[in-house]
Homo-oligomer: A and B are copies of this chain.
Amino acid sequence: MDLLNETLSKIRPLDEAAMENARERQDQLTKPAGSLGVLEEISIKLAGITGEVINNVDKKTVVVMAGDHGVVDEGVSAFPREVTPQMVANFVNGGAAINVLSRHVGANVIVVDVGVAVPIENASVLSRKVKSGTANFAKEPAMTRDEAVKAIEVGIEVANELIDDGVRLLATGDMGIGNTTPSSAILVALTGTPVDGMVGRGTGIGNGDLDHKKKVIADAIGFHGPDRNDPIDVLAKVGGLEIAALAGLVLGAAARRTPVVIDGFISGAGALVAGHLSPLSRDYMIASHVSVEPGHRAILDELGLRPMLYMDMRLGEGTGAALAMGMVDAATKVIS
């Protein structure tokens, strides 16, 4: 059996008995029942995920999946494609916001080249390139179905390697100039909602460009006709390599009963694909923040997740998820 299907078959429901034990323990602690709100809910969810009431998430890693997007040729982004490898270099040099915030919460950062357009010559970047950027989905499918599966499997493999290495809490992060466009396209294609309200300014395009971005997305979905009941078809036709890998990371975490904190809009699109491939995988996701990007709320609602942080962030990289990892850590401490 291939890795994707094997992983999907391993995702099981939460451990209800462990959750009940965690609930009982929370109610015995010196405080009015439920008064720590989401911190208590997370501690109970973690019990369901791991099977243990007391959890330790000291070893945590933010995984930044990087990829480029052919659709940038359509003028949908405020930044040029060259920024993707520049930021990848910045991440491994420790100089980006995600590095600062990960250090703040005691998390490692790993950067995976799933599909950057140019060669990345840096031993600190995990080299798992499936393809040198997607094709321009305004004109042809972003990738083949095989490439989409391979990119998902990159995420599964990374999750497995990290968990084998003792990591107990994962977070999703992304880098890819233009990647709000495929994220919106995935959201629209998987949910069947109209593009209005699901497409935003990304890193900061103006009004005219926003209308154009909406048209590019709506036209591509009309042209390719992705099958909303087949998330891999959606990924292949209008998705992204790093988004596929993020979906894989979530599935890999769920199959190994490991919690995974979901960052903003792009990570949310990956999580949405994971949730459509395996509805049970949603139980292993922990939402972090609600992004400025308008479709993010729709993704969280679709996944049944509630964000903790309202901080108007829209950087990606995993920055919101890193902050939320600190909250998950706090949740393990209030039940200990």
A residues neighboring B (CB under 8 Å): 29-33, 35-39, 78-79, 87, 90, 95-97, 100-101, 103-104, 203-204, 292, 306-315, 319, 323, 326-327, 329-330, 333-334, 336
Query: Which residues of B are found within 8 Å of A312, using beta-carbon distances?
Result: 37-38
A39 to B33, CA, bound (A): 32
Query: Which residues of B are found within 8 Å of A334, using beta-carbon distances?
Result: 97, 100-101
Q: Smallest distance from the beta carbon of A206 to chain B beta carbons, Å?
A: 13
Copies in the complex: 2
A78 to B32, CA, bound (A): 9
A333 to B336, CA, bound (A): 29
Q: Smallest distance from the beta carbon of A309 to chain B beta carbons, Å?
A: 6
Contact A308 B307 (CB under 8 A): no
Contact B308 A36 (CB under 8 A): no
Query: Which residues of B are found within 8 Å of A327, using beta-carbon distances?
Result: 311, 323
| A35 closest partner in B (C-beta) | B315
Contact A31 B311 (CB under 8 A): no
A32 to B33, CA, bound (A): 43
A87 to B30, CA, bound (A): 9
Contact B35 A314 (CB under 8 A): yes
| Complex A-B: 25 CB contacts under 8 Å | A29-B97, A30-B96, A30-B97, A31-B315, A32-B203, A35-B313, A35-B314, A37-B311, A38-B313, A39-B311, A39-B313, A97-B334, A100-B330, A100-B334, A100-B336, A101-B330, A101-B333, A101-B334, A104-B326, A306-B310, A308-B309, A308-B310, A309-B309, A310-B310, A323-B327
